[in-house]
Amino acid sequence: MRKNKVVLSIFLVFLTIFLVSALLKTDISYGKTEAITYTIADATGDWGYPSPYTHYPRGPGYVRMSFIFDTLLWKDETGFIPLLAQKWHYEEKENAYIFSLQKGVSWHDGREFTAKDVIFTFNYIKKHPTWMVDSSIVEEAVEIDPYTVKIYLKELYAPFLNNVACTLPILPQHIWQEVEYPRGFQKDEALVGTGPYRLCDYNRAQGTYLYQSSPNYYLGKLKVERIKFIKVSEQMASAALKRGEVNASSVPPEAVKDLKRWGLQILTCLGSWNAKLMINHTKEPLSSRKFRQALAFAINREEIVKITQRGYATVGSTGLIPPSQEYWYNPNIEQYSYSPAKAQAILESLGYHRKNGYYWKNGEKLRLELLTSPQFAGFIRLAELVSQQLEKAGIAVSMRILDSKSLDVRVGSWKFDLAVSGHGALSGDPFILNKVILGKDFISARYDKNELLNKLLSDQLHQMDREKRKEMMYKIQKIYAQELPALTLYYPTWYWAHDGSSNLYYTQDGIAFGIPIPLNKLCFLE
């Protein structure tokens, strides 16, 4: 009789789980999203206390803060739109922007919003720098009248509207004037803004946020009363969307087809991030522009997209700016389409000859070291493929896997030949080119050997005429593609799925300075 007791008890354990869970299912109505609550899934969860100084210095942290704090201007699908500033114009003679502010706007604590708050904010960030805005560009902020401010710039600065007016959250003077250490200021008052939502709860451990709509938002009524951010891993996001537990989430590319079948709407983000091959252009033979071009011909970027990204990416443009940046992208530059023959011709013109499958020069085998790290998904596979392609073209490659920090240091101190790296911020203002071409960080190509390129990069920052700036950007891409101080391999495609209850969209040039997340707070307006 007792023989089967233990076997039976195992079954009983399973049966109990089964029954208890089924029982609980009928009792707790968890996850049922009411019409007025919008739930957003996030794989990381915690992005910090959403005040301008305490959210984590990443895009999702900024977005959580942007629900509470408004900026002077904002962007939607089409471009700049008014927010705290009703109107704005640029005074060329004085190199200043004049903003006419909205009247009748109040802070969440009922106090009136005026020009004084704007002036205060510009002064405050000079004393307490933030990660999102470079306040050194601003010479002075002056109050013309209680609803007009004039911002004098130190020098001509083309990205001002995008990088400052659309990005800098305006702080209430009556609260922040007393705050000496803003990063430590985490009281309720730190979250008094003029934005459409107020924070009801933030749980660091659970990675959850709850927002409640502000009753008298100056741009109109909000159709979504409550916004919830909950932590859901990327793998489970599809299941959560199907179950109706969340309204929106970023999803892995492989899930897109299935989610479409379930009637979910898909948003696609092309080209905000790029994987690139860093090239040590300070040492032989990579210091030769022609040699770098031969490398580009030898690398099959289409195959890389197909194999390492399973097709969910755009082939990298040699001019760095992705084709999805339609306004700035120059389609007429040399793209170095895969051509082993051309690579061979260049290498031979440089004095290399092929023997036993590899190129040799002065009795030495052409050999390069390729560094990679497991920091980003697929980077090891990517490096393996690049190695194979170069080997096929006659260049011996030894691949080395380092931890990401060691790789960054090696690249930063020029102790490498080739390295696989990557960075984002390509969906915002193209000023990013200055940082990733001339910048001094390991993320940058640190290439200043072309005088014309240096001049164009510096001049475009000061070119206030958008069309003329575009012309300059076209030239910059052309020269960059010729010089090839680094080679962009691909831009991965990112997907978001949502149930359509709110009209989510990707903001033109990204939220604020260029965040590629389709959670623009204005999506939730009626």
Partner 1 sequence: MRTKIINYAVAFLVLLVLNFILPRLMPGDPLSAIYGEEVLVQMSPELKANLIGRFALDKPLWEQFTSYISSLAKGDLGYSYYQNAAVSEIILAHLPWTLLLMGLAIIFSSVVGIIMGIESGWKRGKLMDKTCLTGMMTLSGFPSFFLGMMLLLFFAVTLRFLPLQGARTAYGNLTGGWIVLDVLKHLILPLTSLTLAEIPANYLLTRNTMIINAREPFILTAKAKGLPDSKVRYRHAGRNSLLPVVTRIGIKLGIIVTGALFVEIIFSYPGVGNLIYTSLLMRDYPVLQGSLIMVTAFVLLVNLGVDLIYKKLDPRT
Stretch 367-426 residues interacting with partner 1 (CB under 8 A): 404-406, 408-409, 412, 423-425
The residue from 17, 36, 144, 377 that contacts partner 1 (CB under 8 A) is: 17
**And the tokens for 130?**
């933030």
Give whichever of 4 and 356 is closer to partner 1, judged by the CB atom.
4
Give whichever of 277 and 425 is closer to partner 1, judged by the CB atom.
425
* CA 153 – CA 37 distance, rounded (Å): 42
- Residue 44 touches partner 1, criterion: CB under 8 A: yes
- Residue 155 touches partner 1, criterion: CB under 8 A: no
Residues from 52 through 111 that contact partner 1 (CB under 8 A): 54, 56-58
CB of 453 to partner 1, least distance (A): 19
Which backbone phi and psi does 272 adopt, to 5 degrees? Answer: -105, -25
Q: Which stretch binds partner 1 (CB under 8 A): 51-59, 68-76, 95-103, 274-282?
A: 51-59
**And the tokens for 455?**
């001049």
* CA 369 – CA 383 distance, rounded (Å): 11
- Asked if 481 and 335 touch (Cβ cutoff 8 Å), the reply is yes
The residue from 82, 207, 323, 340 that contacts partner 1 (CB under 8 A) is: 207
The residue from 86, 136, 287, 288 that contacts partner 1 (CB under 8 A) is: 136
Residue 161 DSSP one-character state: I
For residue 368, what are the β-bridge partners?
A: 397
The position carrying tokens 């989430």 is 249
Q: For the chain, what is the total number of helices (H) and then of strands (E)?
A: 15, 21
* CA 147 – CA 161 distance, rounded (Å): 19
- Asked if 243 and 81 touch (Cβ cutoff 8 Å), the reply is no
- Residue 449 touches partner 1, criterion: CB under 8 A: no
Strands 358-361 and 313-315: unpaired
Give every CB contact of residue 468 below 8 A, 6+ residues apart in sequence: none
CB of 136 to partner 1, least distance (A): 5
Give whichever of 1 and 341 is closer to partner 1, judged by the CB atom.
1
Residues from 210 through 249 that contact partner 1 (CB under 8 A): 210, 226, 228, 230-233, 236, 239-240, 243, 245
Residues from 177 through 206 that contact partner 1 (CB under 8 A): 183-184, 186, 201, 203-206
CB of 208 to partner 1, least distance (A): 4
- Residue 441 touches partner 1, criterion: CB under 8 A: yes
Give whichever of 96 and 436 is closer to partner 1, judged by the CB atom.
436
CA–CA distance from 16 to each of 9, 22, 208, 384 (Å)? 10, 10, 31, 49
Q: Which amino acid makes up residue 43? A: A
* CA 68 – CA 212 distance, rounded (Å): 10
- Residue 11 touches partner 1, criterion: CB under 8 A: no
* CA 267 – CA 279 distance, rounded (Å): 34
Q: Which stretch binds partner 1 (CB under 8 A): 10-18, 68-76, 256-264, 315-323?
A: 10-18
The residue from 81, 111, 123, 130 that contacts partner 1 (CB under 8 A) is: 130
If we measure between CA atoms, which residue out of 232, 351, 251 comes closest to residue 294?
351
If we measure between CA atoms, which residue out of 74, 69, 62, 68 comes closest to residue 131?
62
The position carrying tokens 């260029």 is 514
CB of 463 to partner 1, least distance (A): 21
Give whichever of 223 and 231 is closer to partner 1, judged by the CB atom.
231
Q: Helix, strand, or coil here: 319? A: coil
The residue from 12, 15, 24, 345 that contacts partner 1 (CB under 8 A) is: 24
The 246-285 contact track toward partner 1, x by CB under 8 A, reads ----------------------------------------
Give whichever of 294 and 436 is closer to partner 1, judged by the CB atom.
436
Give whichever of 24 and 452 is closer to partner 1, judged by the CB atom.
24
Give whichever of 49 and 494 is closer to partner 1, judged by the CB atom.
49
- Whether omega for the bond prior to residue 159 falls within 30 degrees of 0, making it cis, is no
Instruction: Show the DSSP H helices in 169-263 as ranges.
Output: 173-176, 234-242, 256-261
CB of 267 to partner 1, least distance (A): 21
CB of 55 to partner 1, least distance (A): 9
Give whichever of 107 and 276 is closer to partner 1, judged by the CB atom.
276
- Asked if 462 and 155 touch (Cβ cutoff 8 Å), the reply is yes
- Residue 151 touches partner 1, criterion: CB under 8 A: no
Q: Which stretch binds partner 1 (CB under 8 A): 86-94, 429-437, 466-474, 518-526?
A: 429-437
Residues from 335 through 354 that contact partner 1 (CB under 8 A): none
As to burial, measured by CB atoms within 10 angstroms (0-12 exposed, 13-18 middle, 19+ buried), residue 519 is buried
Q: How far apart are the first and last CA of the chain?
A: 69
- Residue 4 touches partner 1, criterion: CB under 8 A: yes
Q: Which stretch binds partner 1 (CB under 8 A): 64-72, 187-195, 386-394, 436-444?
A: 436-444
CB of 84 to partner 1, least distance (A): 22
* CA 40 – CA 44 distance, rounded (Å): 12
- Residue 509 touches partner 1, criterion: CB under 8 A: no
- Residue 452 touches partner 1, criterion: CB under 8 A: no
* CA 272 – CA 494 distance, rounded (Å): 9
Q: Which amino acid makes up residue 3? A: K
